[in-house]
Amino acid sequence: MTATALTPRALARQRRRRALAAFWNAFRRDREGVIGLVLLLVCVAVAVMAPLFVDADELSVTRASGPPLVGPSGAYPLGTDDDGRSVLTMVVWGSRTSLLVGLTATAISMVIGTVVGVAAGHFRGRPGGLLDRVTDFFLVVPFLPLAIVLATVLRDRWPDLPKVLAVIVVIGITSWPVTARLVRAQALAVEGRPYLERAKALGAGNWHQITRHVLPNVMPVVFANTTLSVSIAILAETTLSFLGLGDPLNPSWGTLLDGAYSAGAVSRGAWWWAVFPGLAVAVTVLGFNLCGRAVERVLDPRLRGRV
Partner 1 sequence: MTDVLAVRDLHVGFGGTRRAPLIRAVDGVSLAIGEGEIVALAGESGCGKTTLARSMLGLERPWKGTVEYAGRPLDYRGSGLKGFRRHVQLVLQDPTGALNPRRAVYEAVAEGLRIHRVPGDERELVARALSRAGLRPAERFFARYPHELSGGQRQRVVIAGALVLDPSVIVADEPVSSLDASVRGEILALLLSLRDDLGLSVLVVTHDLGLAWNIADRLAVMYLGRIVESGPTEIVLGAPHHPYTEALLSVLPGRRPIVLRGEAPDPSRMPRGCRFHQRCPALADGRAKAAGVSGGCVSATLPVLAATEDHVAACLLHPVGLIPQQRTPGP
**Residues contributing to the site for partner 1 (CB under 8 A):** 3-4, 6, 8, 11-12, 15, 193-195, 197-205, 208, 212-213, 216-217, 305-307
Evaluate whether 65 touches 83 at the Cβ level (below 8 Å). no
Nearer to partner 1, 9 or 157 (CB): 9
- SS3 per-residue string spanning 189-216: HHHCCHHHHHHHHHCCCHHHHHHHHHHH
**Cα separations (Å) of 40 from 30, 67, 141?**
15, 32, 31
Shortest Å, Cβ 124 to partner 1: 14
- Least distance to partner 1, CB of residue 243, Å: 44
Give the nearest distance from C-beta 196 to partner 1 in angstroms: 9
Decide whether 51 or 192 has the Cβ nearer to partner 1: 192
CB of 209 to partner 1, least distance (A): 10
Angle (CA) 185 190 192, round 5°: 100
Size of the chain in residues: 307
34 exposure class (CB count in 10 Å sphere: 0-12, 13-18, 19+):
middle
Question: Taking the complex as a whole, how short is the minimal distance between the CB of residue 131 and partner 1, in angstroms?
Answer: 20
Shorter beta-carbon distance to partner 1: residue 75 or 202: 202
CA distance 297 to 30: 9
Sequence-ordered list of residues with C-beta below 8 angstroms from that of 25, at least 6 positions apart, any chain: none
Task: Give the Cα separation of 64 and 57 in Å (integer).
Answer: 6
Q: What are phi and psi of 212, to 5 degrees?
A: -95, -20
User: Min. distance of Cβ 123 from partner 1 in angstroms?
Assistant: 15
The answer to whether the beta carbons of residues 234 and 98 sit under 8 Å apart is: yes
Q: Is 76 left (phi over 0), alpha (psi -120 to 50) or beta?
A: beta
Give 217 or 241: the residue with its C-beta nearer to partner 1. 217
Cβ nearer to partner 1, comparing 8 with 142: 8
- CB of residue 15 to partner 1, shortest distance in Å: 7
**For partner 1, the closer CB: 16 or 133:** 16
Nearer residue to partner 1 within complex by CB, 57 or 197: 197
Residue placing its CB nearer to partner 1 in the complex, 10 or 48: 10
Q: How far is the CB of 122 from partner 1 (least distance, A)?
A: 15
CA 242, 245, 251, 252 torsion-angle sign = negative
Given a contact cutoff of 8 angstroms between Cβ atoms, the answer to whether 209 and 78 are in contact is: no
